[in-house]
Amino acid sequence: GQNIDQPTEMTATEGAIVQINCTYQTSGFNGLFWYQQHAGEAPTFLSYNVLDGLEEKGRFSSFLSRSKGYSYLLLKELQMKDSASYLCAVRDIGNRDDKIIFGKGTRLHILP
């Protein structure tokens, strides 16, 4: 079956670093995505990993290990505006389908 797990909530302090983990189990893995979603708004794309390793984009980095079914999103120099939900999603290609499966999201609270 398909399964994506990420923590429900996390709290961090402004200026600090936080790592949000995501583990997945899919039969036809073909890429992992991270999205940011502020309350009441649409998700916005952050990153995409299809090969193992670290992808850095400004204050945000995303890591993937396909052999371990594991990814993390690293946020540095946290700002209050980073308070949001972070969604991990996986592309799963089967014999007859090509789906995108989302985790339930991690709500990140930033404290001043």
Partner 1 sequence: EAQVTQNPRYLITVTGKKLTVTCSQNMNHEYMSWYRQDPGLGLRQIYYSMNVEVTDKGDVPEGYKVSRKEKRNFPLILESPSPNQTSLYFCASSLVAPGTIDYEQYFGPGTRLTVT
Q: Which residues bind partner 1 (CB under 8 A)?
A: 30-31, 33, 41-45, 48, 50, 87, 89, 91, 93, 97-105
Our CB check for partner 1 shows the closer of 30 and 79 to be: 30
Least separation in angstroms between CB 1 and partner 1: 11
Nearer to partner 1, 76 or 91 (CB): 91
Distance CA 37, CA 42 (A): 6
Strand partners, 65: 70
Give every CB contact of residue 19 below 8 A, 6+ residues apart in sequence: 72, 73, 74, 75
For the CB of residue 109, give the shortest distance to partner 1 in the complex, in Å. 17
* CB 61 to partner 1: min, Å: 17
| Residue 80, token pair as written in the block | 């209050």
Contact present, 32 and 48 (Cβ < 8 Å)? yes
- Is the CB of 49 or the CB of 78 nearer to partner 1? 49
Contact 108, 82 (CB under 8 A): yes
Kindly state the tokens that stand for 15.
């200026």
Residue among 44 and 65 whose Cβ is closer to partner 1: 44
Q: Kindly state the smallest distance separating residue 107's Cβ from partner 1, in Å.
A: 11
